[in-house]
């Protein structure tokens, strides 16, 4: 069938200018895949990149997102201290728990002051990783990065396990299902984060403030009863008790080692302090000021709750259960609230709040792990897939990886919090120590006003963190800390190996870029179409090959079956193609891939030929159909592409598609009518126009679809694409501006860039419509940006 070629002349012989490109070009697009439709249904519609500013958090929501891990530590830190002390000194443990808590609150205070400085100096986020990288180099930064990554993984695992323990403490019948429940909680928080930072923040804010409210009631009522002498003493079971002998020394027989061991266990209470410094960009502007204020609120809240719960535990003398449930906070709640109807309701409210905050504490890990992983991936120390923002502008791959690893930890430990805590705090205090040491070096290097005070704060914080780290490593070594002490060096080595691989690839890819890009092209270009049989897929490949207009074009068939080759040759003769011959190549050993490589190598032997190999690729709908057909084409593509100046392209043919291979061009009258239909009625020039979600009102504006050649127009739109000219070409900046009706080119001659103009910018452009590269365009127009 002959194809009518559209002329640029109208029937009356006059020049026929091009038309603006409509928003809907009328070309049928393939439907979205099942996976994308499911993702859209579950997670909601995708967020545009320009909406990332709208995802920033205010202080109340940010406190819930980044401080839930830190605040929730108060629910189990006291219990971890008592886990160590009670087997050593029995009832005397309750005389030591408050002093040890006070010591940990002092450490917390220095950490808060230290990270306030970090946020001010490094408001771009990254926390310990960025601080260490900038002050000590990339290798020490990987130690900090690996420490924090393990910390966030364990944050999720510990939070889910502790939340499950709180639930089982209230509903004992659920104890056999501890591990599945914990895994479900991890999946639930991961799902919330996949829906977006702002949306997850709103959801998770409720449990955080509900827990704070319940803790306020617990501490308030407990203090009231203590002052009034009504606070009951629950006590321990007889076999767990040990008489206090005041002559046994300052620590009632516990000894320095026992006290240090308990202090290390309570170190879990200060985890999560660094979370806010890692997420500064998530705050509303001024981000660093809001982050510092939120950090202080978080520290004060944790200090009050941690110290208050330890004091109540000391007065009521409740101890941890060997099975993990009921928890200390649950026992304190029962003692404070009593067994009346209102007391029972308050107890279950406390347990619900504790369970929710512990589960939501995992959100801190989900908020910071993907962000930190993206920093390390950007420095080529982690797979670069972790840099990509997903459907809802979150680092989806990081969220999924974190959830999977945390679930494995829960399964491996049976969801027991005490087994996870020794693994937990080592990474935390390693990051604390390195970060604060980096800040000391930063202040010594830059010597900004007041740097002496900052050095004292950071130095004391670094020293305290290091002491706690050493205590943790020694006292918790046999409890499981050895695992982290072994895993961290292995992780650092793996990160460095991965970086080395990326560096090798980068050198290989970039070394010859200038020479290769500017090298003269080969004298000849030969296109070979590898043909197995003559069908629609082969015909489509030949059609594409003809459009390349090479110096030589021929089809190649490797003869394995003589009879099949003879039939193919006869069909080719009858096809009547011009300038496309069929070459039959002997392949007696039936090694198709080898024969294909040798065929291409012969064409390349003169060192002056570029060869393009085209392979028909038959696309099948179902997996069953794919199994029925071989993968010879993939093997040929892999081997042939290894030859220098040999290029392999597959031309797809989709089975079941009703798209036509060739579409006749409409007549002039039909095209004019279709154009008028696409343009539609002119919009109200005084009304506002939606540009990328922003309503812009411009007097006398013209919808892009109604722009005519040689007409002066004012159009409003968003920059969909931007073309950058190479340095040696004439300076030209080409934009494609779109509104809700169509698209038009905007060309600035003599310019390579315009301040503030980038992909996604909104512009008001005024000028006379001309033609550039066969498209309507505004040449050197006046413009202004729309904020």
- The domain segmentation of the chain, as residue ranges, is 56-110+162-420, 524-654, 668-786
Query: 92 or 741: which carries more pLDDT confidence?
Result: 741
Whole-number pLDDT of residue 50: 57
Q: Which CATH class is domain 668-786?
A: mainly beta
pLDDT tens digits, one per residue of 206-227: 888 898 999 999 999 999 988 8
Does residue 660 carry a pLDDT above 50? no
pLDDT tens digits, one per residue of 292-334: 888 899 889 889 999 999 999 888 888 887 776 778 888 898 8
* Strands 762-772 and 712-724, sheet pairing: antiparallel
Whole-number pLDDT of residue 683: 52
Does residue 344 carry a pLDDT above 70? yes
Distance CA 92, CA 90 (A): 5
- Which of 14-23, 183-192, 518-527 has the lowest average pLDDT? 14-23
Give the mean pLDDT of 548-572.
Answer: 87
Contact predicate 417/155, CB 8 Å: no
Whole-number pLDDT of residue 180: 92
* Mean pLDDT of all residues belonging to the chain: 79
The sign of the torsion formed by the CA atoms of 761, 764, 767, 769 equals positive
Query: 722 or 656: which carries more pLDDT confidence?
Result: 722
pLDDT tens digits, one per residue of 367-424: 788 888 888 888 888 888 888 877 676 788 899 999 999 999 999 888 887 777 767 7
Q: How confident is the model at residue 664 (pLDDT cuts 50, 70, 90)?
A: very low
Q: How confident is the model at residue 245 (pLDDT cuts 50, 70, 90)?
A: very low
Distance CA 60, CA 294 (A): 8
Query: 266 or 199: which carries more pLDDT confidence?
Result: 266
In CATH, the number for domain 524-654 is 3.40.50.620
Contact predicate 312/222, CB 8 Å: yes
Distance CA 96, CA 89 (A): 10
Whole-number pLDDT of residue 423: 72
Query: 472 or 142: which carries more pLDDT confidence?
Result: 142
- Which of 264-278, 599-613, 701-715 has the lowest average pLDDT? 264-278
Highest mean pLDDT among 196-200, 316-320, 690-694: 316-320
List Cβ<8 Å contacts ≥24 apart for 242-247.
242/89, 242/90, 242/91, 242/92, 243/90, 243/91, 244/89, 244/90, 244/91, 244/92, 244/95
Encoded tokens for 688: 């506002």
Query: 593 or 48: which carries more pLDDT confidence?
Result: 593
Q: What percent of the chain has pLDDT over 90?
A: 11
User: 3-state SS of the chain: helix, strand, coil percent to 5?
Assistant: 60, 15, 25
Distance CA 683, CA 622 (A): 46
Distance CA 19, CA 324 (A): 74
* Strands 581-586 and 552-559, sheet pairing: parallel
Q: What are phi and psi of 555, to 5 degrees?
A: -95, 145
Q: How confident is the model at residue 10 (pLDDT cuts 50, 70, 90)?
A: low
Does residue 658 carry a pLDDT above 70? no
- Distance between start and end Cα atoms, the chain: 53
Does residue 522 carry a pLDDT above 80? yes
Does residue 485 carry a pLDDT above 70? yes
Give the mean pLDDT of 165-190.
Answer: 86
Q: How confident is the model at residue 269 (pLDDT cuts 50, 70, 90)?
A: low
Distance CA 215, CA 310 (A): 13
Whole-number pLDDT of residue 661: 42
Highest mean pLDDT among 72-76, 277-281, 346-350: 346-350
Nearest to 595 by CA among 552, 640, 561: 640
Q: How confident is the model at residue 516 (pLDDT cuts 50, 70, 90)?
A: low
Distance CA 316, CA 311 (A): 9
pLDDT tens digits, one per residue of 34-46: 777 777 777 776 6
Whole-number pLDDT of residue 201: 64
Q: How confident is the model at residue 1 (pLDDT cuts 50, 70, 90)?
A: very low
Q: How confident is the model at residue 472 (pLDDT cuts 50, 70, 90)?
A: confident
Contact predicate 584/569, CB 8 Å: yes
Q: Can you list the positions of beta strands (E) in 463-622?
A: 524-530, 552-559, 581-586, 609-619
Give the mean pLDDT of 114-141.
Answer: 81
Helix ranges (H only) for 592-727 are 592-604, 623-627, 632-640, 668-679
Distance CA 272, CA 289 (A): 19
Contact predicate 22/741, CB 8 Å: yes
Contact predicate 530/553, CB 8 Å: no
Residues 6+ apart with CB under 8 A from 386: 370, 373, 374, 376, 377, 395, 397, 398, 401
Does residue 282 carry a pLDDT above 90? no
Residues 6+ apart with CB under 8 A from 51: 393, 693
Distance CA 259, CA 556 (A): 82
Give the mean pLDDT of 127-156.
Answer: 85
Encoded tokens for 276: 């806010």
Give the mean pLDDT of 504-511.
Answer: 73
Distance CA 486, CA 488 (A): 6
Nearest to 328 by CA among 104, 169, 168, 98: 169
Does residue 760 carry a pLDDT above 70? yes
CB atoms within 10 A of CB 720: 13
Region of 516 please: left (phi>0), alpha (psi -120 to 50) or beta.
alpha
Does residue 11 carry a pLDDT above 60? no
Helix ranges (H only) for 8-92 are 34-43, 59-72, 77-89
Whole-number pLDDT of residue 400: 92
Distance CA 209, CA 188 (A): 19
Q: What percent of the chain has pLDDT over 70?
A: 81
Does residue 254 carry a pLDDT above 60? no
Whole-number pLDDT of residue 48: 60
Neighbouring-strand partners of residue 525: 610
The sign of the torsion formed by the CA atoms of 87, 89, 95, 101 equals negative
The sign of the torsion formed by the CA atoms of 658, 664, 667, 673 equals positive
pLDDT tens digits, one per residue of 90-107: 777 788 888 889 988 888
Question: How far from chain centre, in Å, is Cα 333?
Answer: 40
Distance CA 524, CA 552 (A): 8
Transcribe 5-24 into DSSP letters.
PPPSB-TTS-B----PEESS
Whole-number pLDDT of residue 581: 84
Distance CA 714, CA 736 (A): 15
DSSP H or E segment with residue 779:
strand 775-779
Encoded tokens for 80: 């971890």
Nearest to 586 by CA among 596, 576, 572, 574: 596
- Which of 20-29, 187-196, 699-708 has the lowest average pLDDT? 20-29
DSSP H or E segment with residue 762:
strand 762-772
Query: 656 or 570: which carries more pLDDT confidence?
Result: 570
Whole-number pLDDT of residue 406: 93
Nearest to 127 by CA among 272, 273, 271, 278: 278
Contact predicate 744/778, CB 8 Å: yes
pTM (2 decimals)?
A: 0.69
Query: 411 or 75: which carries more pLDDT confidence?
Result: 411
Does residue 765 carry a pLDDT above 50? yes
Give the mean pLDDT of 540-550.
Answer: 88
Tokens 């659920």 sit on residue: 174
Tokens 């919090």 sit on residue: 417
Give the mean pLDDT of 57-65.
Answer: 79
């Amino acid at each position: 069938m002959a194809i009518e070629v559209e002329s640029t002349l109208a029937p009356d012989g006059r020049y026929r200018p091009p038309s603006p490109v409509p928003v809907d070009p009328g070309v049928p697009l393939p439907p979205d895949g099942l996976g994308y439709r499911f993702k859209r249904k579950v997670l909601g519609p995708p967020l545009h990149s320009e909406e990332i500013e709208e995802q920033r958090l205010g202080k109340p929501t940010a406190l819930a997102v980044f401080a839930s891990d830190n605040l929730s530590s108060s629910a189990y830190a006291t219990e971890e201290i008592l886990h160590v002390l009670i087997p050593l000194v029995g009832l005397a443990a309750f005389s030591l728990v408050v002093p040890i808590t006070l010591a940990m609150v002092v450490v917390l205070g220095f950490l808060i002051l230290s990270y306030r400085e970090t946020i001010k100096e490094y408001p771009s986020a990254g926390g310990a990783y960025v601080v260490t990288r900038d002050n000590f180099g990339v290798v020490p930064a990987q130690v900090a990065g690996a420490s924090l990554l393990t910390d966030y993984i364990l944050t999720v695992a510990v939070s889910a396990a502790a939340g499950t323990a709180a639930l089982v403490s209230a509903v004992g019948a659920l104890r056999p299902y501890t591990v599945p429940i914990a895994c479900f909680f991890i999946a639930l928080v991961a799902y919330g984060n996949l829906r977006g930072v702002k949306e997850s923040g709103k959801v998770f804010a409720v449990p955080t403030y509900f827990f704070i409210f319940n803790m306020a009631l617990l501490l308030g009522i407990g203090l009231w009863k203590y002052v009034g002498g009504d606070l009951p003493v629950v006590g321990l079971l007889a076999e767990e008790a040990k008489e206090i002998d005041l002559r046994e020394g300052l620590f009632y027989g516990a000894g320095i080692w026992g006290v240090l061991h308990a202090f290390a266990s309570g170190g879990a209470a200060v985890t999560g302090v660094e979370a806010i410094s890692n997420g500064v960009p998530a705050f509303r502007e001024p981000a660093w000021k809001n982050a510092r204020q939120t950090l202080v609120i978080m520290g004060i809240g944790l200090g009050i709750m941690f110290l208050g719960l330890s004091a109540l535990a000391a007065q009521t003398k409740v101890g941890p259960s060997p099975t993990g449930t009921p928890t200390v906070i649950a026992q304190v709640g029962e003692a404070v609230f009593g067994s009346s109807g209102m007391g029972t309701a308050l107890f279950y409210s406390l347990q619900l709040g504790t369970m929710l905050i512990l589960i939501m504490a995992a959100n801190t890990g989900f908020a910071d792990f993907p962000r930190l992983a993206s920093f390390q991936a950007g420095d080529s120390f982690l797979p670069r897939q972790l840099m990509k923002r997903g459907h809802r502008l979150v680092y989806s791959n990081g969220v999924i990886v974190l959830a999977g690893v945390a679930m494995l930890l829960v399964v491996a430990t049976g969801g027991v919090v005490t087994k996870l805590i020794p693994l937990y705090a080592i990474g935390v205090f390693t990051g604390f120590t390195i970060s604060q040491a980096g800040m000391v070096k930063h202040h010594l290097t830059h010597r900004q006003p007041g740097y002496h005070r900052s050095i004292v704060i950071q130095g004391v914080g670094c020293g305290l963190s290091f002491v706690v780290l050493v205590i943790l490593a020694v006292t918790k070594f046999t409890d499981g800390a050895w695992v982290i002490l072994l895993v961290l060096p292995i992780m650092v080595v793996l990160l460095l190996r991965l970086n080395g691989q990326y560096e090798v690839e980068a050198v290989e890819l970039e070394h010859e870029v200038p020479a290769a890009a500017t090298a003269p092209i080969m004298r000849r270009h030969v296109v070979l179409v590898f043909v197995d049989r003559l069908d629609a897929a082969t015909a489509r490949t030949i059609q594409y090959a003809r459009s390349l207009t090479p110096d030589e074009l021929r089809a190649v068939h490797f003869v394995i079956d003589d009879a099949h080759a003879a039939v193919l040759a006869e069909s080719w003769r009858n096809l009547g193609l011009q300038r496309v011959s069929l070459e039959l190549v002997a392949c007696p050993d039936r090694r198709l891939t080898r024969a294909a490589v040798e065929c291409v190598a012969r064409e390349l032997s003169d060192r002056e030929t570029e060869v393009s190999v085209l392979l028909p690729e038959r696309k099948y709908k179902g997996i069953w159909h794919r199994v029925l057909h071989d993968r010879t084409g993939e093997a040929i593509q892999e081997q042939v592409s290894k030859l220098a100046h040999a290029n392999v392209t597959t031309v797809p043919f989709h089975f079941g598609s009703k798209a036509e291979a060739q579409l006749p061009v409409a007549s002039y009258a039909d095209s004019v009518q279709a154009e008028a239909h696409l343009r539609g009625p002119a919009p109200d020039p005084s009304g506002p126009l939606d540009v990328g979600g922003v309503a812009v009102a411009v007097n006398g504006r013209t919808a892009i679809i109604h722009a005519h050649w040689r007409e002066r127009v004012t159009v409003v739109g968003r920059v969909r694409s931007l073309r950058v000219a190479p340095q040696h070409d004439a300076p030209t900046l080409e934009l494609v501006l779109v509104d809700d009706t169509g698209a038009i080119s905007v060309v600035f001659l003599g310019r390579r860039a315009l301040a503030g103009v980038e992909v996604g910018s909104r512009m008001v452009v005024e000028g006379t419509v001309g033609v550039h590269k066969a498209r309507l365009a505004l040449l050197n127009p006046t413009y202004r940006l729309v904020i």
